[in-house]
Chains A and B, each alone.
Chain A
């Protein structure tokens, strides 16, 4: 894993697990966007704690095991879902009354620590296998680095048709190609090279926002009226602003310490040391998640321990900046959470004013999700092929279709990482029975 295990990271992981479990236990914030709207039924006693827990478990357990763990192992940073979906489960498992909340917090903290040591232990265990394939696992994310800048074009296509989408696609390609050729300047003897993927992403995202801002209001704009009845929920979230700010600070700090990453794309870029690009990607994802997180928060009175995910953006930029970076990350993260909470009321009233922005959010999440599905699948194939050139492609292509035909299909996004990891384990088994000799290069 890319993080180091020391007193600081142990404390931060414990704090992260603890605070997130506490927030879920006290019904203040949960990470799964689909769990949040269940809370009004719980508050009105139409749903009991057991059902709330069962729902949380059903929604999140598969994602932790099937998506969080393999993505974290392949990427060498813990993807935030692994810890925060688990703390949703832990928090809702315990009663919110009396001492139970401290049990939930303690179990959450313990889970954070176990995850920290556990992930490193898994990587160490893989490394002592006869054939060490951990070096090839990075290939799973290789397409993300080279091709993730395509997503704004797809989002625009969903929003404004394929002509606009195609135009943005060509624009992105041109920007990348031109920056690669001419993006180097020598200023006072120092060579400054613009990152071509970063530039392409930035131009794409700007184009995406411009298209969204131009979208006309739809006829049936009655969302603001519908949301007006939820003002009590906004007050409930505002009441918990301080603890949410603390959670935001901890999440940001954990990001800066390379312990967690907000999504598969920024995870890969951060792991490769491309922090500026990772921050741009995280910003794009924030645009996508603002409507979803905020609308679910408004209808439920429950927020997310990571907010709209904006806290990750400065946190990524603070990586490798020493103690000042850590302090800066914590403070910025906390401040962003406060601002987000204060903006909730404004968002509720403005729901109809910027219809394009709501669509932009949906389309951005969809486009990113689709690009990740494909990029991680092909990346998984390339990684499996790097591990076993004879059978790698066969394994991952087979796995993809077996999963589609399955009655219990895992997230498509997880097939690439799972394919690469299982390929590595398979070649070791084959090696043991003499079917996969080690080629000396």
Chain B
């Protein structure tokens, strides 16, 4: 399974976390937000992760614009992290691009990856 890290902040940290929780079953590459969103659009990768200070702007904007909002979700924004069950159901409902606040990376990535790997 191919996962791209787009977004803006802490890309290397995100990639490390995804590799760690991907249990050897995912291939992670770091790209610019535009290139990463294009990779999802053209099916070269299955999932997009991005982080920024608001969890929605730099993190996810290009994915929303190029892939479409129906495939994207901000799983954490300032003042609110989605409940674990909410995140799991977002993955189950076919969301492909995930944006979050950079500080929440270690809280949300394990949940998303766990649910993705169940598929």
Interface flags for A336-362 (1: CB within 8 Å of B; 0: not) read 000000000000000100010011001
Number of interface residues of A (CB under 8 A): 47
Contacts of B69 in A (CB 8 A): 37-38, 41, 46-47
Distance between Cα atoms of A413 and B52 in the complex (Å): 13
| A contacts with B: majority SS | helix
Contact yes or no, A409 B78, CB < 8 A = yes
Contacts of A58 in B (CB 8 A): 77, 80
Given contacts A222-B38, A358-B32, A359-B32, contact A34 B61 (CB under 8 A): yes
Contacts of B33 in A (CB 8 A): 362
Contacts of A37 in B (CB 8 A): 61-62, 64-65, 69
A171 vs chain B, min Cβ distance (A)? 24
Say which one of A61-69, A102-110, A117-125, A142-150 lies at the interface with B: A61-69
In the assembled complex, A180 has its CB within 8 A of some CB on chain B: no
In the assembled complex, A36 has its CB within 8 A of some CB on chain B: yes
Distance between Cα atoms of A413 and B81 in the complex (Å): 17
In the assembled complex, B104 has its CB within 8 A of some CB on chain A: yes
Contacts of A38 in B (CB 8 A): 64, 69
A23 vs chain B, min Cβ distance (A)? 18
A60-118 interface (Cβ within 8 A of B): 61-63, 65-67
Contact yes or no, A33 B77, CB < 8 A = no
Contact yes or no, B35 A220, CB < 8 A = yes
Distance between Cα atoms of A46 and B69 in the complex (Å): 10
Interface flags for B45-63 (1: CB within 8 Å of A; 0: not) read 0000000111111111110
Contact yes or no, B56 A32, CB < 8 A = yes
Partner of A66, one of B10, B74, B78: B78
Distance between Cα atoms of A300 and B58 in the complex (Å): 15
Number of interface residues of B (CB under 8 A): 36
B62 vs chain A, min Cβ distance (A)? 6
In the assembled complex, B17 has its CB within 8 A of some CB on chain A: no
Q: Which residue of A lies closest to B103 (CB)?
A: A412
In the assembled complex, A390 has its CB within 8 A of some CB on chain B: no
Distance between Cα atoms of A295 and B101 in the complex (Å): 20
Contacts of B61 in A (CB 8 A): 33-34, 36-37, 292, 295-296, 299
Q: Which residue of A lies closest to B65 (CB)?
A: A299
In the assembled complex, A209 has its CB within 8 A of some CB on chain B: no
Distance between Cα atoms of A300 and B10 in the complex (Å): 26
Contacts of A183 in B (CB 8 A): none
Contacts of A195 in B (CB 8 A): none
In the assembled complex, B70 has its CB within 8 A of some CB on chain A: yes
Closest 3 CB pairs of A and B: A34-B56, A62-B79, A299-B65
Known A46-B69, A292-B57, A365-B8; further 12 A-B contacts with Cβ < 8 A: A34-B64, A34-B99, A38-B64, A63-B54, A223-B35, A292-B61, A296-B61, A369-B9, A370-B9, A407-B81, A409-B103, A411-B78
Chain A interface residues toward B at CB < 8 A:
32-38, 40-41, 46-47, 58-59, 61-63, 65-67, 218, 220, 222-223, 226, 292, 295-296, 299-300, 351, 355, 358-359, 362, 365-366, 369-370, 404, 407-414
